[in-house]
Each structure stands twice: as structure tokens, then as C-alpha cells.
Amino acid sequence: MKKIFDRFAAARRVHPETGDSGYFSTMFLEHEEPAPRLVPWSLRAQELQAQPVDHTQGSIQFGRAWNDDRHAVLLGESEMKRLTEYLSFVSIAADKEMITQDEQGDYLLIVLDGTIAVDREQPWGGRARLAEARVGDLLGEMSLLDAGTRFSSCRSLTACVLAVLDAQALDRMMKDDPRLAAVLLAALARRLSLRLRQASARLSALLTNA
């Protein structure tokens, strides 16, 4: 987490050419080592043949998922409307891989309908099922925050409806509506904290039983 906050602080320096920090959209270019393949959402959407979903309907589904999430701050109607303006909504057919392990991506996904498998490819070629994501679950948020590679692959088990937030939209939110961006980042931080606690509990149980 310290690395993330350090980069937030560095991002406040204005870019000499653009006049803006562009943190989330430019951080993917800041690697000293050769960067892994960057797959922006615009390219991935084409590969998946993602179909746009009516924005009003997508906003309604997103609002339900957000308000049912105990990690999210409840938003008023006007705030929720502003938040959905930064999102795009798409439908994906079954058996489509929207996130690939070890690639670099500039977007996160929020499941609004359907089921998605989260798998980790093993060195010997097999796949381990880590989880199955359902309504309200987030995918890909860690890479969006720290510009790291994807830890796992995500493939649709059924037809799905997704909300998409990419780095450029998050940059705009931070510039134009910082309070809303803070609310969103707080929700992400709470989820990441929960995952860390769960991983720590599992590790503790393994060490105890060893």
C-alpha cells in the first residue's frame, strides 16, 4: 500500500506538456524494466465482441450492486448518477476471457449479472480455481491501482453484464469530482484490506497446522 500512496503523491506533479498529472492513464508507462503487454479496454472490448448495454439500464443494475455492497459508502441519487457517468456498460457472451494472467490492463470490471471464473495458471500448465465472481464483485482493481500485472485470469461462465471503469475515466473523476473519486477508492481499499486479512488468516492456519 505504501507504494500506491507514494505514487499518488508523485502524481500530483503536473505534466509539463499536458498540464495534468494523468496518474492512472500514464502510470502504465513508468516501468524501468520492459513492461508486459498492455491491453487497454478498447482493445479487449473488440476482442470480446462486447455489446453496449443501455446506459440507463446499466446504471440501475450498478446502483443495486453498489448499494448492496457493505464495503461501499451509500451515495445519494445525484452522486450515483455522477458516478455512473464515468462507467460504460457492456454484455459479454459465455466462455470469454476478459482478463488474462500476467498481462497489464488499464481497467477494472464490476459484475452486474452472470458468473465469472477467476483462475490462476500454474507453472506446470494447470489452472487452479481461486473464486467465482458474481453480482457486485470487482475484477482487475489491483492492476488499475498499482500498474502491476494481472494476478489471475477471468473467464465468463455464463453470459454477463459488466460495468467498466478505465484509467482515463478514473483520471477524469479525480480531476473533476475528487470527492467521488475518494469514495470509490475507499471502497476499493476496503475490499483489498478484506482480501489481505483473508489471505493472512489462511496463511496463519497453514503455518499452525504445519
Closest C-alpha to 11, from 20, 54, 163, 201: 20
Which pLDDT belongs to residue 72?
80
**Domains identified in the chain and CATH numbers:** 2-203 (2.60.120.10)
Closest C-alpha to 104, from 38, 165, 54, 53: 38
Would strands 104-105 and 38-39 be described as parallel, antiparallel, or unpaired? parallel
- pLDDT tens digits in sequence order for the chain, 210 residues long: 444 444 444 444 444 444 555 766 655 555 555 667 788 999 999 999 999 999 999 999 999 999 888 778 788 899 999 999 999 999 999 999 999 999 988 999 999 999 999 999 888 878 889 889 999 999 998 888 887 889 899 999 999 999 999 999 999 999 999 999 998 888 888 877 777 777 777 777 777 876
Grid coordinates representing 165? 471503469
C-alpha 50/C-alpha 159 separation (Å) is 11
Which pLDDT belongs to residue 153?
95
pTM of this prediction?
0.79
141 neighbors 191 (Cβ within 8 angstroms): yes
Query: What is the b/e burial string over 5-24, where b = at least 16 CB atoms within 10 angstroms of the residue's CB?
Result: eebeeebeeeeeeeeebbbb
